[in-house]
Structure 1
């Protein structure tokens, strides 16, 4: 019997080495710090705008991602009064069973698993987007990967499959980045609420530094976290779901800071239904809701999705997701302009109301 279940091992570039190869300018650093503070202010009721995390389910094509980023940047200029727009740039995909795990794990989508190349492409893409003043968000999945790109992110998410993970909560307690925790895949919001509480306090654990060396981490806690309602066995974006979430948070002394994921369980995995979720959110805010601070939307250049065939990966349709279905950009633009228009005056009054609460 063999001693270990692996065929070979390959050397991996360290975070410090990659960051030295692909450094970021002081202007980018400053812009990211400012954006983190703005998002923190939105979360804590000190900025009237709505935070919107918008982009493809996953990144699989460098040039397409740049094109989408340019479209989103141009749109953000029209929305900046009422919406703080951040591009969703997800390089890792947690799989329920098996499947393509993302650009970093398998950048060529051919089972060659050139992770060094994947890390390089991911960081290069983020820098390219950040140079254009496009703000960026991702999910923390592999904690080792996070060290390679953490300095380029304005906001992060902990997903439904990892929300109960102790080490993910510990990492969030370490970072000075606003973070959202999704309810788990069954729809239980308590998993996310527990994670918010855990991440707000200090932790002591073993991690890897920028040189890939183990060290003991002592954190002070991250107070800038919020829940993301993503649905479960059924949607949880309706008014009664929001009220229940507010009451649960209030009961344990947490302020109501809620983001709605318009996809996944809330859309019953039908990308077109994201529009219905957004319309419900608009209505709830018009009716006086003050707890919804943000929205997540899965959006790309063209609508829908396509199946990745590893043997024919060169025949993919341009601008179409290879994971979850996405809204096309034209539809995305229409609905975001609708949010901006319909909530224009309401957000000001809502802000004054929130100031009294917070």
Structure 2
């Protein structure tokens, strides 16, 4: 009902997806559960390393593909995820020498089933970012043209622009949330110390 989110979210327990993610030149998120993100943490660790596996080339020829690893992978955790679980997951990534960051899914899990709950979850994420929380690297918003969802029944009449899967935020609300995120990110960047690498380049 709506475009595939960017960056993509992949099954944490799938070996094939871990291997493919290790060769992509784009961020990839691995979905974690509300109570535990162990599988997602392991997926991020695995995708950060190089792999060799059987695949098919652009020309349709089977062969062995070798990858160098993708360190731009991250966790995707439900907005309702317990703070302790999120802290433990990010701590596990830090212990592995990987960026301790997570994307918050505002449309997954308990308390995020209606557009109103999704908007409230997004506002909470923006508040965390504005407060300087460096673990938040992004958010997933279930968004479409019109608010809500509609049943998909044989022969039934559908409303153009409304989801037939999960409930979604409407476009106007999405725009307002994105502007709120922009303000929050600006505040976090202003409060954060200047990166060491930037200081070195300017000196």
1:217 deviates by: 1.2
- Report the Cα distance in structure 2 between the residues aligned to 1:219 and 1:341, rounded to whole angstroms: 38
- Report the Cα distance in structure 2 between the residues aligned to 1:247 and 1:210, rounded to whole angstroms: 39
> 2:58 matched to 1:210?
yes
Gaps of 5+ in 2: 197-203
Q: CA RMSD in A?
A: 2.4
- Report the Cα distance in structure 2 between the residues aligned to 1:239 and 1:284, rounded to whole angstroms: 12
Aligned partners of 1:187 and 1:230 also within 8 Å = no
Q: Would the alpha carbon gap of residues 188 and 230 (structure 1) be closer, same or farther in structure 2, given more than 3 Å must change?
A: same
Partner of residue 312 from structure 1, selected from 139, 148, 155: 155
TM normalised by structure 1 equals: 0.50
1:342 deviates by: 4.7
Corresponding residue number in structure 1 for 2:25: 176
1:334 deviates by: 1.9
Q: Would the alpha carbon gap of residues 241 and 278 (structure 1) be closer, same or farther in structure 2, given more than 3 Å must change?
A: farther
- Match of 1:300, SS? coil
> 2:12 matched to 1:163?
yes
> 2:70 matched to 1:222?
yes
Q: Would the alpha carbon gap of residues 271 and 241 (structure 1) be closer, same or farther in structure 2, given more than 3 Å must change?
A: farther
- Report the Cα distance in structure 2 between the residues aligned to 1:341 and 1:223, rounded to whole angstroms: 27
Corresponding residue number in structure 2 for 1:195: 43
> 2:178 matched to 1:326?
no
The structure where helix makes up a greater share of residues is: 1
Q: Would the alpha carbon gap of residues 271 and 293 (structure 1) be closer, same or farther in structure 2, given more than 3 Å must change?
A: same
- Match of 1:195, SS? helix
Corresponding residue number in structure 2 for 1:72: none
Aligned partners of 2:29 and 2:74 also within 8 Å = yes
- Report the Cα distance in structure 1 between the residues aligned to 2:151 and 2:102, rounded to whole angstroms: 33
- The equivalences for 1:104-123 within 5 A come to none
- The equivalences for 1:143-158 within 5 A come to 155-158=7-10
- Report the Cα distance in structure 1 between the residues aligned to 2:112 and 2:123, rounded to whole angstroms: 16
Aligned partners of 1:200 and 1:222 also within 8 Å = yes
Q: Would the alpha carbon gap of residues 250 and 341 (structure 1) be closer, same or farther in structure 2, given more than 3 Å must change?
A: closer
Gaps of 5+ in 1: 1-57, 60-88, 91-135, 138-154
Partner of residue 286 from structure 1, selected from 130, 138, 147: 130
Aligned partners of 1:239 and 1:284 also within 8 Å = no
